[in-house]
Amino acid sequence: MAGKAIDLIRQGIRILQKAEDSVLIGLLLLMVFIAVSQIFLRNLFDSGLSFGDELIRVLVLWISLMGAMVASRNNSHVNIDLISRYLPGHIKKFSTVLVGFFTSVICALMSWFSFNFVMMEKSEGVIAFSGIPAWICESIIPVSFAIISIRYLLISFATFFNSYKQNV
């Protein structure tokens, strides 16, 4: 039973990772394409997509947060790490569990408060650009932090049960 549940989680993680990769790659290529078309349109035809510049800026936010999500798969975010490299094995394991849990809680809080913000913008009907509601552009913030939070919780658990394989 437990084995089945774990298999299901593993499969879910794989699907999520594939989806993240595809979206991330698609967004970057889209950004390059729109940015270059804007330059051509502006210089050759003195025109441009009315929503182009805003869209590119929102893409920067999405790409950053998606990149950050991917970085948390194997905990490859920048850290200071002055103490932990000198800790003996079992204490280091304990501190990894603790740090993972801390990060997870912080990201959960961040996700919750940004979710509130997005809902507020939705109910006020704020428009970002060209009729696109602001809350859609902002929605990546709570979503990405929720996923980062889950990942660090998994890293924390898996480290505790000694089954962390560097990729969740």
Partner 1 sequence: MSILLICIIILFAFLGAPLFSIIIAAAMTGFYFSDIDLSVMAIELYRIADTPILIALPLFTFAGYILSRSNTSERLVRLTQALLGWIPGGLAIVAFVVCAVFTALTGASGVTIVAMGALLYPALKQAGYKDNFSLGLVTTSGSLGLLLPPSLPLILYGVIAQQMDAGQAVSIEKLFIAGILPALLMIVLLSLWSIWANRKTPVPLTPFTLKNVLATVRESIWEIPLPVFVFTGVYSGYFAVSEAAAVTAMYVLIIEVLVYREVKLSDLSGIIRESMVMVGGILLILGVCLAFTNFLIDAEVPMKIFNACKIFIGSKFLFLILLNIFLLILGTMLDIFSAIIIMVPLILPIAQEYGVDPIHLGIIFLANMQIGYLTPPVGMNLFIAGYRFNKPIIEIYRATIPFMMVLLLAVLIITYWPWLSLVFIS
Q: Which of these ranges, 4-12, 44-52, 117-125, 157-165, lies near partner 1 under the rule CB under 8 A? A: 117-125
Residue pair 146/108 in contact by the 8 Å Cβ criterion: yes
Q: How far is CA 56 from the centre of its chain?
A: 18
Look at residues 105, 96, 134, 104 and name the one whose alpha carbon lies nearest to residue 118. Answer: 134
User: Residues 13-52 vs partner 1: string with x where CB under 8 A?
Assistant: --------x--xx--xx-xxx-xx-xx-------------
Instruction: Enumerate residues 123-142 that contact partner 1 by CB under 8 A.
Output: 137-138, 141-142
The Cα 52–Cα 69 span in angstroms is 25
CB of 129 to partner 1, least distance (A): 10
Residue pair 97/159 in contact by the 8 Å Cβ criterion: yes
Beta strands in 114-153 (DSSP E): 127-129, 132-133
Which residue among 9, 19, 98, 136 contacts partner 1 (CB under 8 A)? 98
Q: Which of these ranges, 2-10, 44-52, 67-75, 156-164, lies near partner 1 under the rule CB under 8 A? A: 67-75
The Cα 150–Cα 167 span in angstroms is 13
Nearer to partner 1, 10 or 57 (CB): 57
Site size for partner 1, by CB under 8 A?
A: 59
Which residue among 48, 93, 117, 132 contacts partner 1 (CB under 8 A)? 117
